[in-house]
């Protein structure tokens, strides 16, 4: 089942409502641009690749909902739509990547407004299909790093729910399992929204992959004991030097793994690699509503005392020195990433370094 599907007749985007999982499998239909923007901002849909493709369909919906017959007026409307979507989640570079690609469709000269609408829709559909193919290729590379008998700590959710279908880091684990490798997954809860305990555990149970949920703070215990052979996670943005922006808690996990000599593997599509940024200090970090932290409950009671305040960064930066491999659909990059990452992506490392 895909995270998102497009109805070409009704021009409607249908999303799995990830807020309802694992208790309920529910869907949300987006008929208007504002509904797509809310779906991204409120994390009805989440995961960098899924956010990017969702935004692409948001642009298609905006095009179909515009009543103008003027190509220039339509282009203006869609620039405004892109600005609306761009503001929803700042950290995931896939969002900007998708919007740039959709806006490029509008540059074709001599087309009627209706032709532009059809081309926007076709481009969004193409991006969705490409995402699935890219994830399968990433899984092939990622699974090659997993040995028979590995126990893997996995952070956040990087499965089919984070993309259109299949997944990034969890997609590699899934393929290794389907290759009959004996794998066991320790699933970080991933606080405060618990994407690991809610979403990754749900996906693993669907696939029949053995897993146990652990608190984020327990990861170091299992790494120190020698119980873990790999740490795997995805990325919302990767800088040119290999610094990784990912769900909050990734940095501490990578630190503990590095200290205990456990390989750290990031699996993300090339669209998540931002070679325009020399390092992670340039990546904007989204801070979300403190209520996501303060509203946590235990046995039906609020965890935090009344009047408490909280900070809620959604992501952190894992320095490249803590990462052993970055897997994309183009191949596997290893240290030094400032040279190998551009090479795998088909870029000249010298030109990237000069630009940085």
**196/193 Cα distance (integer angstroms):** 9
> For the chain, what is the largest distance between any 2 Cα atoms, rounded to a whole number of angstroms?
66
By C-alpha distance, which of 276, 279, 271, 254 is closest to 336? 279
Lookup: tokens for 347: 């870029």
Catalytic member of 188, 236, 243, 274:
236
236 given a catalytic annotation: yes
DSSP string over 310-327 = ---BSEEEE-GGG-SEEE
Q: Hey, which residues does 237 pair with through a beta bridge?
A: 245
Q: How many whole angstroms from its chain centre is CA 76?
A: 29
Q: Tell me which residue has tokens 């407004």.
A: 113
DSSP labels, 87-135: TT-SS-HHHHHHHHHHHHHTT-TT--HHHHHHHHHHHHHHHHHHHHHHH
Q: Is the Cβ–Cβ distance between 125 and 7 less than 8 Å?
A: no
What are residue 159's DSSP bridge partners?
A: 167
How many CB atoms lie under 10 A from the CB of residue 270?
18
CA pair distance 253, 234, nearest whole angstrom: 13
CA 193 to chain centre: 15
* Strand duo 184-188 + 237-239: pairing: unpaired
Active site residues: 236
């Amino acid at each position: 089942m895909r995270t998102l599907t497009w109805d070409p007749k009704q021009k409607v985007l249908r999303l799995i409502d990830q807020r309802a999982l694992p208790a309920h499998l529910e869907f949300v239909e987006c008929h208007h641009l504002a509904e797509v923007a809310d779906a991204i901002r409120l994390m009805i849909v989440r995961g960098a690749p899924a956010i990017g493709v969702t935004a692409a369909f948001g642009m298609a919906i905006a095009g179909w909902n515009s009543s103008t017959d003027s190509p220039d007026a339509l282009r203006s409307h869609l620039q405004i739509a892109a600005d609306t979507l761009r503001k929803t989640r700042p950290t995931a570079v896939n969002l900007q990547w998708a919007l740039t690609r959709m806006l490029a469709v509008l540059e074709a000269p001599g087309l009627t407004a209706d032709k532009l609408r059809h081309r926007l829709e076709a481009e969004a559909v193409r991006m969705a299909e490409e995402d699935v193919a890219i994830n399968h290729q990433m899984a092939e590379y990622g699974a090659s790093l997993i040995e028979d008998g590995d126990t893997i700590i996995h952070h956040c959710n990087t499965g089919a729910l984070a993309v259109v279908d299949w997944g990034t880091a969890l997609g590699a684990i899934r393929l290794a399992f389907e290759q009959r490798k004996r794998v066991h997954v320790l699933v970080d809860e991933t606080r405060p929204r618990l994407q690991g305990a809610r979403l990754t555990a749900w996906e693993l149970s669907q696939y029949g992959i053995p897993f146990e949920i652990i608190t984020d703070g327990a990861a170091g215990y299992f790494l120190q004991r020698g119980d873990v052979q790999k740490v795997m996670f995805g990325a919302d943005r990767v800088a040119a030097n290999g610094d990784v922006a990912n769900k909050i808690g990734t940095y501490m996990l990578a630190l503990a793994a590095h200290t205990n000599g456990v390989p750290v593997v990031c699996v993300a599509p090339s669209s998540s690699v931002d070679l325009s940024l020399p390092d992670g200090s340039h990546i904007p970090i989204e801070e979300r509503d403190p209520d996501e932290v303060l509203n946590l409950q235990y046995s039906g009671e609020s965890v935090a005392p009344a009047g408490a305040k909280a900070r809620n960064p959604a992501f952190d930066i894992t320095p490249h020195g803590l990462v052993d491999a970055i897997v994309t659909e183009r191949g596997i990059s290893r240290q030094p990433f400032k040279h190998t990452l551009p090479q795998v992506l088909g870029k000249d490392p010298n030109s990237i370094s000069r630009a940085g």
